[in-house]
Amino acid sequence: MSSPQTEYRSRRRRRLIITLVATGLVLLLLAGIGIYGLLTGPAPSGTDRDTPPATPTAPQTPGENPDGTKLDPLPRTDDPQEYVRAIARALFDWDTFTLLTPNDHRGVLIEDADPSGTETPGLITDLDGYLPSASTWRDLAEYRTRQHLEIDQISVPAQWEEAVAVSDGQIAEGTIAYTVEGTRHREGVWYDDPVESAHPVSFTVFVACEPVFDRCHLLRLSQLDNPLR
């Protein structure tokens, strides 16, 4: 028969193992998304790092096109939900029958990327899963394709709350994730007849706001239709 002290040590060891396993699963979850800065905390602007941030290959400043079309920048705000809503629209609201290009739309998002540059290369890769390639854009333009997102819900996923709870401070304060659920609407012309389609979409946006930065910045995106729940 074991003593009370032995049983106490055994229970304490089991709790430790459970905690370590839970923490490990959360870290694996975030690592699977490929987000480094969520665990270490993005460096404030101007902070030196051992390696310089990668230079984005897409244009960083959205400009005005010859037809006068101009994309609005993301809002300068410390309200993460308002910011994520604007990101969702910047990702999905576009019209191929203009002089705008996919790089113009990328530029709006990359312009507001992690100021330290740590997450920017990953964000550029993330955007490949959301915006059409240049060749696909040209194909869609033949059918005058345009798209917009109807947002149904924006919420902090339970998996993120669990991640923060067991991270023991490893996730930088001011870093937050929102999962967006909505319907992607497309319209175009097929042999002079108007056509349209609607598909549900979901994704998670990772942002960093105060006190990491003086306002919200976009860190990373989950895979499309593979969000945190």
**pLDDT tens digits, 111-165:** 999 999 999 999 999 999 999 999 999 999 999 999 999 999 999 999 999 888 8
| 3 Cβ neighbours under 8 A, 6+ residues apart | none
- CA gap 108, 89 in Å, rounded: 11
Residue 180 β-bridge partners = 154, 203
| 160 Cβ neighbours under 8 A, 6+ residues apart | 176, 177, 204, 228
Which pLDDT band, with edges at 50, 70 and 90, does 42 fall under? low
Which pLDDT band, with edges at 50, 70 and 90, does 62 fall under? very low
Which pLDDT band, with edges at 50, 70 and 90, does 172 fall under? confident
Query: Is residue 120, in this structure, part of any structural domain at all?
Result: yes
Q: How high is the pLDDT of residue 47?
A: 40
Which pLDDT band, with edges at 50, 70 and 90, does 167 fall under? confident
How does pLDDT run across 9-37, given as a tens digit for each residue?
A: 455 444 433 333 344 445 555 555 555 45
More confident residue, 107 or 9: 107
What's the mean pLDDT when you consider all of the chain? 81
Q: How high is the pLDDT of residue 165?
A: 87
How does pLDDT run across 179-200, given as a tens digit for each residue?
A: 999 999 999 999 889 999 999 9
Structural domain boundaries enclosing 92: 4-221
Query: Is residue 229, in this structure, part of any structural domain at all?
Result: no
CB atoms within 10 A of CB 136: 13
Query: Is residue 116, in this structure, part of any structural domain at all?
Result: yes
Number of domains, the chain: 1
Query: Is residue 97, in this structure, part of any structural domain at all?
Result: yes
Residue 39, pLDDT > 80, answer no
pTM of the predicted structure, to 2 decimals: 0.76
- CA gap 196, 145 in Å, rounded: 9
Which pLDDT band, with edges at 50, 70 and 90, does 71 fall under? very high
Residue 56, pLDDT > 60, answer no
- Answer for the pair 99, 66: CB distance below 8 angstroms, yes or no: yes
